[in-house]
Amino acid sequence: MHDDRIRLRHLAIFLLLAVPLAPPARAADRPNILWITSEDNSPYLGCYGDPLARTPNLDRLAAQGVRYRNAFANAPVCSSARTTLITGMYASSLGVHNHRSRVAIPDGFRLYPEILRAAGYYCSNNSKTDYNVARTGQPWNESSNQAHFKNRAPGQPFFAVFNFTASHESQVAPKPGKTGFRVSPQDIVLPPYHPDTPDIRRDWANYYDQMTIMDAQAGQVLAELEQAGLDSDTIVFYYGDHGGALPRGKRNIHDSGTRVPLIIRFPQRWQHLAPTPPGGWVDDLVSFVDFPATVLSLCGAPIPAQYEGRAFLGPMKGAPRDHVFLFRGRMDERYDTVRAVRDAGFRYVRNYSPHRPWGQHYSYPFQVLPSMRSWHAEFVAGRCSDVQAAYWKPKPGEEFYAIASDPFESSNQIDDPASAPRIARLRAALRADILATRDTGFIPEGMFPKLAGDKTLYDFAQSDAYPLPRILDMADNASDRNPRRLSGFLAGLEDPHPIIRYWAAAGCLILGSQAAPAKERLRARLDDEWADVRVVAAEAIAHLGETQAALQAIAAVLEDGNLHEALAAQNALDFLRLAGRVPLTQAQDLVRNRKFAEPGDRIPRYMLALP
């Protein structure tokens, strides 16, 4: 059935490519499109009601355009979010959802700049790419820090991206010697999940200064557009590339990591395309997967058959969404599979790694963010409230939040009887999205090469070789942390499919000591032909008293596994260390002694830097 679906989809793509496009139109016949993107920021703007923000240029743009209340990055980190944008498909459908990965996609799947270029547009990107797609060729006419719409041919319509990093995570900490802030650190109103420390207040204060710098950069591009006499022919988008840079923003599936500002200004001649008059608000739910289809609709270019986004503007505008689909996988060196849906007022989250905390020790933010180090130190010292401490503790299997009454999503209402009907609807919506998109996020990353073989991971996932309903059932049961599921895990450990065995072993790991009856079957999985299964079985059996056998299995994967198998092994080893099962020095020795034989091997050996 799924193989037939692949053939039909590829036929549709072939037909799309075979149809000659209309002759390139003059700029006057179609709008130019300007995208201004800022990194790592939630709606911390004056025009979104933030009283501490000073963002006059974007506030002016909002007064001239429309603001979206419910715009979301589908993933809360740059590479996964940008890969969703460039492909017009959920990164999780293509297998490109893990941060900073390189995965092939089908050759016929054209990226949206390629489609716009074929339709006569000059496409420039200034200048971040950060895509997880492994493919050759340049989709842009120009992609560099010199790329600009002014470089197009006379009379040619353009699509131009300008990306600003002033608000990026790397810019949050005040530079050495900085003493003055526009907003005093003492005037910062902290979210309830942040403890009150000087470092956290200083990072927040400096971040608002960086947002003002970013606003000035956006203003400069808008001024260049006006000076060139192009503002009356150009639809301008401004949006953040995902949620904010402070801890629990970026990398986090909640609003603090996925909700973004989106402002769109329509010049007078294109005002008929606007969803509401200038200065107005739009409540429709939109997400990054919809942006490429929307631009193609505005520009009169064909929307490829495989695109999963829905145009929310232009002649090909679709029906409004009733929810958006959100996902996260590996962030930096840490694995954590999470899926969520968000409608206009509520969020439902399924944590498929509830044994891991939200706040894992990611090397990069711990290196660049004093606020991250300060928050963790407060937790270790026992000075955090329950809401603040929760970030560093294992997660619940499911979460449910009412955004209007709980905008910081700090009170999980998953067990609220009054919310049960809504929870059931959103739970069903999430399952339907996972199945409809043939979500590849349930495949351990180390398995990708062998499972896909000479196909792309997308084509593998579209085939019957990927029994996703059965896998999803096992993963759901694993995340429930319910000992009554153990009999299903025992059977799953003997399943012929390696992904089923993986999630069955994960269910045992999540149960901890309650999985004791599975010890012998877990021991057998230490010799599984698939390294990812061996790793999760080893971590599970270590919690059942078999530490030495577990370490032998983990050491073998560190020695012989591929890049991502060895990374999974290192994660297991580190959490065994945190659980007191393995001394730090022994864990460090195992990592230090790995041969790192693969060319280009860049596994972060973060444990070697721990005190």
Residue positions annotated with a catalytic role: 78
Residues 6+ apart with CB under 8 A from 37: 161, 162, 163, 164, 238, 239, 240, 241
CA atoms within 13 A on the CB side of 370: 18
Pairing mode of beta strands 66-72, 281-287: parallel
Tokens of 234: 């150009």
- Calpha distance 307→335 (Å, rounded): 27
In contact, 145 and 181? CB cutoff 8 Å: no
User: Is the separation of the CB atoms in 103 and 132 below 8 Å?
Assistant: yes
Structure tokens at 439: 């979500």
Distance CA(585)–CA(593), nearest Å, equals: 12
From the CB of residue 177, how many other CB atoms can be counted at a distance below 10 Å? 5
* Alpha helix stretches (DSSP H) within 493-600: 498-511, 519-525, 531-542, 547-560, 563-578, 584-592
Helix (DSSP H) and strand (DSSP E) numbers for the chain: 22, 12
Rounded to whole angstroms, what are the CA distances from 571 to 440, 558, 590? 21, 11, 12
Determine the straight-line distance between the first and last CA of the chain, rounded to whole angstroms: 53
Whole-angstrom CA distances from 603 to 100, 305, 565 are: 12, 37, 10
| Per-residue burial over 341-351, b = 16 or more CB atoms within 10 Å of its CB, e = otherwise | bbbbebbbbbb
Q: What angle do CA 319, 322, 327 make, to 5 degrees?
A: 115
**Rama region for 320: left / alpha / beta (φ>0; ψ in -120 to 50; rest):** beta
**Percent helix, strand and coil across the chain, each rounded to 5?**
45, 15, 40
Identify the residue whose tokens are 């959490």: 575
Apex CA 80: angle with CA 76 and CA 81, to 5°? 60
Distance (Å, rounded) from C-alpha 75 to C-alpha 279?
28
What are the C-alpha distances in Å from 225 to residues 34, 66, 130, 220? 9, 19, 26, 9
Continuous segment of H or E residues that includes residue 2: helix 2-18
Q: Half-sphere exposure of residue 302, counting CA atoms within 13 Å on the CB side? A: 16
